[in-house]
Amino acid sequence: MYEPTIGLEIHIQLNTETKMFCSCPIVGYDVEPNTDVCPVCMGLPGALPFPNKKAVHYSLMLANVLGCEINRKSVFARKNYFYPDLPKGYQITQDEIPVAEKGQLKFKLPNGEYKTVRINRIHMEEDAGKSYHIGSGEISLIDFNRCGVPLIEIVSEPDMHSPAEAALYVRNIKQIVTYLGISSADMEKGNLRVDANVSVKRKDETELGTRTELKNLNSFKFMQKAIEYEINRHINCIESGGFIVTQTLLWDEKENKTFPMRTKEELSDYRYFPEPDILCIYVDEDEINHASESVGELPGQRILRFIRQYNISNEIAEKVCETKGFSDYADKVLKITSDKRITINWLLIEVLRVLNEEKISIEEFPIEPKNLAELLDMISSKKISNTIGKKVFREMIRTGEDSKSVLNRLDIKFISDENELEKIIETIIAENPVSVNKYKSGKTNVIGFFMGQVMKKTKGQADPRKAKDILIEKLN
């Protein structure tokens, strides 16, 4: 019987305006390569790095939330790095004295129990550039725009024991840093990257087994698959009398297996030494307080507030609050609308559907919260039917108009005028004698058919309650 053990190193890219040690702006991959670089991030001789104060502030915020001990004095170090995407030949990172250490993250498991993962340390460092390989590797191109972008690395203790647990831990970290607003933490875009350390041991053994490290897992799916694969590989290897070699591996998503990237450098290969161009980072009481004041509402607190304020279940609140952006939007709509249940349904079904179909984020969703609230209030007060509501919703998305102008433009009215409805219903009854007889012989479910006809004739604009009353009255 084997027990797997997993420890994770998560790198998050901070969304500061400028890089970690220079004033180059941070840009996306849509920008022309090698345009946002300077002597500092290119590592030209004589250029001096200067730490980004905002990045320190962000680290302190995260340290606060993860309950870490903050080192009043922390030190930057040079870590030997011999790849072309970091032209200095070393990465500036923190080694012996990181900005914060010894924290923990407590999160809920699917069975409702809580799991605590200890945090070993969080430290600041700089990112490398990005290499592109063309053809079968004869040509390599490098974009240095990402060079020097600030990262926070969060190193966990080896406290997780399944791929699912590891994924939940990452989800919680991602949720926290997006709520803090310090990173967009999007795995697909590469601004949240995970390295997973995996080992297995017999249940009765006390010492952990030899670990292998899975680098650059860039989606939740691949991360879980790779960890799962690695656990099985370790077990099979040990079972067949072999032993695990310390190694750095990559995940091959086509072959569904791990393969060695390079044999793990001995620690000494990193040849850490204190960065002589940067004085130590000192943080004082004020900076620590300022960071804790900047923390704002965290997911757990927001979930509780939504439950109370909008009278929704814990499960629904967790769904709505999964991302900060979505819950910010939901909060703005829910604050205005009168029917919270209808609002929640629309948010979780209609709005989410559009986000998925159009592959857009809530920040790109074209309907302003107050306009959606206005539409939903018309639906809940029965000024328009649900069907018309959906039609207006689609138009609002297409054109960005508010609901009133869509209704005006499409000349949509809600037919609740009894005389008008009576006339329409009389025609329908006259046109369908067979169904009328069915009704009279007791088959009252033909009401559904008649209502369908009413909606067809009125293009869905009839007030359903009134129409049904009139219909029954006429049929009787």
Binding site for ligand ADP (CB under 6 A): 5-9, 155-158, 197-199, 208-209, 211, 213
Task: In whole angstroms, give the CA distance from residue 323 to residue 11.
Answer: 19
**Cβ burial, residue 208 (10 Å; 0-12/13-18/19+):** middle
Residues in a beta bridge with 36: none
Which residue, 33 or 67, has its beta carbon nearer to Zn ion? 33
- Nearest distance from C-beta of residue 23 to Zn ion, angstroms: 7
Instruction: Please name which of 250, 252, 258 lies closest in space to residue 230, comparing C-alpha atoms.
Output: 258
Which residue, 22 or 281, has its beta carbon nearer to Zn ion? 22
Give the three-class secondary structure for 440. helix
Which residue, 69 or 205, has its beta carbon nearer to ligand ADP? 205
Cα Rg of the chain (Å, integer): 30
Q: How many CB atoms lie within 10 A of CB 85?
A: 16
Partner whose footprint covers residue 339, from Mg ion, Zn ion, ligand ADP, none (CB < 5 to 8 Å by kind): none
- Nearest distance from C-beta of residue 286 to ligand ADP, angstroms: 31
Are 148 and 90 in contact by the 8 Å Cβ rule? The answer is no
- Nearest distance from C-beta of residue 77 to Mg ion, angstroms: 15
Which residue, 204 or 357, has its beta carbon nearer to ligand ADP? 204
Which residue, 98 or 369, has its beta carbon nearer to ligand ADP? 98
Query: How many whole angstroms from its chain centre is CA 132?
Result: 26
- Nearest distance from C-beta of residue 272 to Zn ion, angstroms: 23
Segment 8-47, which members bind Mg ion (CB under 5 A)? Answer: 9
Residues found in the chain: 476
Query: Could you give the maximum distance between any two Cα atoms of the chain, in Å?
Result: 97
Residue 38 interacts with Zn ion (CB under 5 A)?
Answer: yes
Instruction: Please name which of 255, 226, 244 lies closest in space to residue 166, comparing C-alpha atoms.
Output: 226
Partner whose footprint covers residue 123, from Mg ion, Zn ion, ligand ADP, none (CB < 5 to 8 Å by kind): none
Task: In whole angstroms, give the CA distance from residue 169 to residue 162.
Answer: 11
Count of residues interacting with Zn ion (CB under 5 A):
5
Pull the structure tokens for residue 207.
């010492």
Residue 24 interacts with Zn ion (CB under 5 A)?
Answer: yes
- Nearest distance from C-beta of residue 48 to ligand ADP, angstroms: 27
Which residue, 192 or 351, has its beta carbon nearer to ligand ADP? 192
The residue within the footprint of Zn ion, chosen from 10, 41, 56, 415 (CB under 5 A), is: 41
Interface residues with Zn ion (CB under 5 A) are 22, 24, 38, 40-41
List interacting residues with Mg ion (CB under 5 A): 9
